[in-house]
Amino acid sequence: MALGSIKSCRRSAVSFFRWRGQLGLTNYLFESALVVHYLDHLDGKPLPPAAAGYWQSQWWQALGNGMIDATIARMLESRRPDDKQMPEKMQREEARIARAFATADHAYRDGKFLAGSKFSLADLTFGVAFQYIDIRYPHDWCSQHPRLK
């Protein structure tokens, strides 16, 4: 597939990347991982490089994205009217977040970076996940997982 020209545009609070493909059709990339993979293929160099290996970095990214997804689900449930909220859903999402923190704590190897010796998308994803959780689901995860802070 020929990768055409790309340019960024803003619509509402969502970033889209638009490019013209080989058939002359305008396409939109709207999800972070898809945008990163597209940019990776422009010159063949990962952004930023995942020195420890592609799959290790992908694993960390998936775990961080799962934490964000669970936090969003919990937050949306908390915004429903009190009489419509399902406490078991809130507990389920909180348990997902707790398991993800425990998994990350267990997998972390005490290095400066999550995947290898250089900053990678794994570190970026987890930085975003931790900040998002602190905003949308503030709780004391740091005392339970001090190696991750």
pLDDT value, residue 9: 39
pLDDT value, residue 46: 61
Residue with tokens 């969502």: 14
pLDDT value, residue 78: 95
For each of the chain's 149 residues, which pLDDT tens digit applies? 333 443 433 333 334 455 555 545 566 666 666 666 676 666 666 655 555 577 888 889 899 999 999 999 999 999 999 999 999 999 999 999 999 999 999 999 888 888 877 777 888 888 889 999 999 999 999 889 888 87
Please tell me the pTM assigned to this model: 0.71
Pair 133, 69: CB distance under 8 Å: no
The DSSP result for 111-147, as a single string, is SSSSSSSS--HHHHHHHHHHHHHHHHS---HHHH-GG
Distance in angstroms (rounded) separating the CA atoms of residues 132 and 136: 6
Distance in angstroms (rounded) separating the CA atoms of residues 20 and 11: 18
pLDDT value, residue 58: 84
pLDDT value, residue 13: 35
| Residue 22 exposure: Cα atoms within 13 Å on the Cβ side | 3
Sign of the torsion formed by the C-alpha atoms of 67, 134, 113 and 29: positive
pLDDT value, residue 130: 92
Q: What beta strand segments (E) does 12-134 contain?
A: 14-20, 26-29
**How would you classify the pairing of strands 14-20 and 6-11?**
antiparallel
